[in-house]
Structure 1
Amino acid sequence: MTSSTNQYIRQILHHSEAPPPVKARFFYTSPLAIDDPLSPLPPSAQTAQTTYAKLPPRPFSEFDNTALDKAWHDLRRKLLRYNEERGEKPKPHADPEPTGRQEKGKKAELSVLSTSPSARRPASASDASTRSNRPPVIHEAPAVPPDAENHDTTGTPFIRAPSMRRADRVPSRPQPQLLDSYQWDDPSAKAKKPKKPQASPETPSKKIAVGVSRLHHVAMPDLNLEPIYWRPVNDVSPVVRATWFYKDTMLPVEPSVANMLEAGYTELQPWTETWSDELNSAIEVGAAGEAKVLHKLWPDLFKRLESRPSTARTEMGSVTSMNLDDEPATAEKDREHAVEIACDIIDIASGVDGVDNKASGTSTYSSGGGLPRWYPTAGVVYANANDAYILKPNLQPSAYYGRRPLANYIRKGRKLGIAVVRGFDQAAYDRLYPTKKSSTATKAEEGVSSSQSGAPPNRRQKSDPALAHAERPKVTELILVIHGIGQKLSERMESFHFTHAINAFRREVSVELGTDGVKSRLRTNMGGIMVLPVNWRQSLSFEDGERDIPDDPALNDFGLKDITPETLPSVRNIVSDVMLDVPYYLSHHQPKMIAAVIGEANRIYKLWCQNNPGFAQHGRVHIIAHSLGSVMAVDILSKQPTSIPAELSDPTTVDLNSSPPLEHFLFNTSGLFLCGSPAGFFLLLKRASLMPRLGKQKPGANLSSIRKPICGSHGTYGCLAVDNIYNIINPYDPVSYRLNATVDAPYASSLKSAWVPTASPGWFSSSGSWFYSSPEGASGNRPDQLPRLPSNVELETHNFSREEIAEQRMLLLNDNGQIDYFLKYGGGPLEIQYLTMLGAHSSYWLLKDFVRMIVLECGRGLGRDGTIQGMRATKKKTQLTT
Structure 2
Amino acid sequence: MTSSTNQYIRQILHHSEAPPPVKARFFYTSPLAIDDPLSPLPPSAQTAQTTYAKLPPRPFSEFDNTALDKAWHDLRRKLLRYNEERGEKPKPHADPEPTGRQEKGKKAELSVLSTSPSARRPASASDASTRSNRPPVIHEAPAVPPDAENHDTTGTPFIRAPSMRRADRISSRPQPQLLDSYQWDDPSAKAKQPKKPQASPETPSAKIAVGVSRLHHVAMPDLNLEPIYWRPVNDVSPVVRATWFYKDTMLPVEPSVANMLEAGYTELQPWTETWSDELNSAIEVGAAGEAKILHKLWPDLFKRLESRPSTARTEMGSVTSMNLDDEPATAEKDREHAVEIACDIIDIASGVDGVDNKASGTSTYSSGGGLPRWYPTAGVVYANANDAYILKPNLQPSAYYGRRPLANYIRKGRKLGIAVIRGFDQAAYDRLYPTKKSSTATKAEEGVSSSQSGAPPNRRQKSDPALAHAERPKVTELILVIHGIGQKLSERMESFHFTHAINAFRREVSVELGTDGVKSRLRTNMGGIMVLPVNWRQSLSFEDGERDIPDDPALNDFGLKDITPETLPSVRNIVSDVMLDVPYYLSHHQPKMIAAVIGEANRIYKLWCQNNPGFAQHGRVHIIAHSLGSVMAVDILSKQPTSIPAELSDPTIVDLNSSPPLEHFLFNTSGLFLCGSPAGFFLLLKRASLMPRLGKQKPGANLSSIRKPICGSHGTYGCLAVDNIYNIINPYDPVSYRLNATVDAPYASSLKSAWVPTASPGWFSSSGSWFYSSPEGASGNRPDQLPRLPSNVELETHNFSREEIAEQRMLLLNDNGQIDYFLKYGGGPLEIQYLTMLGAHSSYWLLKDFVRMIVLECGRGLGRDGTIQGMRATKKKTQLTT
Asked if these proteins are the same fold (TM beyond 0.5), I'd say yes
Q: Distance in 2 between matches of 1:601 and 1:102?
A: 37
Are 2:576 and 1:576 equivalent residues in the alignment? yes
* Contact 1:270/1:276 (8 A) holds in 2: yes
Q: How far 1:48 moved relative to its partner?
A: 1.2
Task: Name the one with the larger helix percent.
Answer: 2
Asked if 1 retains the 8 angstrom alpha-carbon contact of 2:113 and 2:143, the reply is no
Superimposed CA distance per residue, residues 655-706 of structure 1 (whole angstroms, 9 cap, x where no aligned partner): 0000000000000000000000000000000000000000000000000000
Retained in 2: the 8 A contact 1:624–1:674? yes
Q: Given the superposition, is the C-alpha separation of residues 385 and 772 from structure 1 closer, same or farther in structure 2, using an over 3 Å criterion?
A: same
- Post-superposition Cα deviations, 1:210-254, rounded to whole Å, max 9, x if no partner, equal 000000000000000000000001000000000000000000000
Provide structure 2 residue ranges, at least 5 long, that are not aligned to the other structure.
none
Mapped contact 2:482–2:533 kept (Cα < 8 A): yes
- Asked if the contact 2:383/2:389 (under 8 Å) is kept, the reply is yes
Which shows bigger deviation, 639-648 or 116-125? 116-125
Checking the alignment, whether the CA contact within 8 Å between 1:23 and 1:424 is kept in structure 2 is yes
Work out the CA distance in 1 between the residues paired with 2:832 and 2:421: 58
CA 541–136 in structure 1, closer or farther in 2 if over 3 Å, else same: farther
1:288–1:164 Cα change, 3 Å: farther
Is 1:426 the counterpart of 2:432 in the alignment? no
Alpha-carbon offset, residue 763 of structure 1: 1.1
Are the structure 2 counterparts of residues 710 and 785 from structure 1 closer, same or farther at C-alpha, using a change threshold of 3 Å? Answer: farther
Q: Which residues of 2 match residues 107-506 of structure 1 at below 5 A?
A: 120=120, 172-174=172-174, 202-305=202-305, 325-506=325-506
Deviation at 1:304, TM superposition (A): 2.8
Structure 1 contact 231–535 (Cα < 8 Å) conserved: yes
Counterparts of 1:190 and 1:577, CA distance in 2: 33
Aligned mates of 1:688, 1:842 — CA distance in 2 = 27
Moved more, 644-653 or 105-114: 105-114
Separation in structure 1 between the aligned mates of residue 518 and residue 654 of structure 2, nearest angstrom: 37
The alpha-carbon distance between structure 1 residues 295 and 867, as it changes in their structure 2 partners (threshold 3 A), is same
Instruction: Assess, with a 3 A threshold, how the Cα gap between structure 1 residues 428 and 199 changes in structure 2: closer, same or farther.
Output: closer
* Range moving further from structure 2, 402-411 or 142-151: 142-151
After TM superposition, give the deviation of residue 110 of structure 1 in Å.
Answer: 6.8
Q: Measured at CA, do residues 175 and 127 of structure 1 come closer, stay the same or move farther in structure 2, by a change above 3 Å?
A: farther
Q: Decide whether aligned partners of structure 1 residues 251 and 796 sit closer, same or farther in structure 2, where only a CA change above 3 A counts.
A: same
Residues 126 and 703 (structure 1), Cα distance of their counterparts in 2 relative to 1, 3 Å cut: farther
- Is the 1:88–1:99 contact (alpha carbons within 8 Å) kept by the matching residues of 2? no
The whole-number CA distance in structure 1 between the counterparts of 2:607 and 2:376 is 47
| Offset of residue 774 of structure 1 | 1.4
Task: Compare 46-55 and 87-96 and name the one that shifted more.
Answer: 87-96
Q: Is the 8 A contact 1:297 1:378 kept in 2?
A: yes
Task: After TM superposition, give the deviation of residue 551 of structure 1 in Å.
Answer: 1.3
The 8 Å contact of residues 138 and 299 in structure 2, kept in 1 or not, is answered as no
Partners of 1:63 and 1:192 in 2: CA distance: 37
Q: Displacement of 1:341 after TM fit?
A: 1.4
Q: Secondary structure at the match of 1:839?
A: helix
Q: 1:112 to 1:860 in 2, by over 3 A?
A: closer
Query: Unaligned stretches of 5+ in structure 1?
Result: none
Q: Tell me the SS of whatever aligns to 1:99.
A: coil
Q: Deviations over 1:362-389 (max 9, x none)?
A: 0000000000001000000000000000
1:77-109 Cα distance to aligned partner (Å, 9 max, x none): 000000001113773625899999999999998
Cα distance in structure 2, aligned partners of 1:303 and 1:737: 74
**Alignment CA distance shift 1:421-1:125 (3 Å):** farther
What is the match of residue 850 of structure 2? 850
C-alpha contact 1:505 1:845 (8 A) present in aligned 2 = yes
Deviations 1:7-64 (A, max 9, x none): 2354222111000000000000000000000001100244211110000000000000
Residues 772, 371 of structure 1: alpha-carbon distance in 2 compared, 3 angstrom cutoff: same
1:556–1:844 CA distance, 2 compared to 1 (3 A): same
**Higher mean displacement: 299-308 or 851-860:** 299-308
In the TM superposition, what whole-angstrom CA distance separates every residue of 1:492-519 from its partner, at most 9, and x where no partner exists? 0001000000000000000000000000
**More divergent stretch after superposition (291-300 vs 634-643):** 291-300
* Aligned-pair CA distance for 1:193: 31
Give the TM-score normalised by the residue count of structure 1: 0.89
Query: What secondary structure sits across from 1:781 in the alignment?
Result: coil
Change (3 A) 1:375 1:184: closer
Structure 1 vs Structure 2: percent identity of aligned residues?
A: 99
Structure 1 residues 233-288: Cα deviation after superposition (integer angstroms, max 9, x where no partner) = 10000000000000000000000000000000000000000000000000000001
Distance 1:717 1:559, change over 3 A: same
CA contact (8 A) 1:36 1:212 kept: yes
Structure 1 window deviating more from structure 2 (119-128 vs 644-653): it is 119-128
The CA distance in 2 between the partners of 1:569 and 1:624, in whole Å, is: 33
Q: Partner residue of 1:103?
A: 103
Partner Cα distance (2:472, 2:194) in 1: 62
Paired residues of 1:453 and 1:612 also in contact (CA < 8 A): yes
SS at structure 2 position matched to 1:131:
helix
Structure 1 contact 133–362 (Cα < 8 Å) conserved: no
Over 3 Å counting, the alpha-carbon distance change for 1:847 and 1:65 in structure 2 is: same
Q: CA deviation at 1:390?
A: 0.3
**Contact 1:25/1:59, CA 8 A, preserved across alignment:** yes
Query: Structure 1 residues 124, 676: closer, same or farther in 2, change over 3 A?
Result: farther
Deviation at 1:298, TM superposition (A): 0.6
> Does the 8 Å CA contact 2:131/2:292 hold for their aligned counterparts?
no
SS in 2 for 1:719: coil
SS at match of 1:801: helix
Write out per-residue CA displacement over residues 376-424 of structure 1, whole angstroms, 9 at most, x where no aligned residue: 0000000000000000000000000000000000000000000000000
- SS, match of residue 726 in structure 2: strand
**Aligned in 2, Cα 1:482/1:308: closer, same or farther, shift over 3 Å?**
closer
SS of the residue 2:584 aligns to: helix
TM-aligned CA deviation for residue 326 of structure 1: 2.9
Residue 861 to residue 189, structure 1, CA distance change in 2 (3 Å): closer
- Please say if residues 106 and 179 of structure 2, whose CA atoms lie closer than 8 Å, have aligned partners that are also in contact: no
> After superposition, what is the alpha-carbon deviation per residue over 1:827-879, rounded to whole angstroms, capped at 9, x for unaligned?
00000000000000000000000000000000000000000000000001111
More off after superposition, 396-405 vs 781-790: 781-790
Contact 1:477 1:619 in 2 (8 A): yes
Range with greater deviation from structure 2 (123-132 or 195-204): 123-132
Work out whether residues 630 and 679 of structure 1, in 8 Å CA contact, stay in contact via their aligned partners in 2.
Answer: yes
Q: TM-score, normalised by structure 2?
A: 0.89
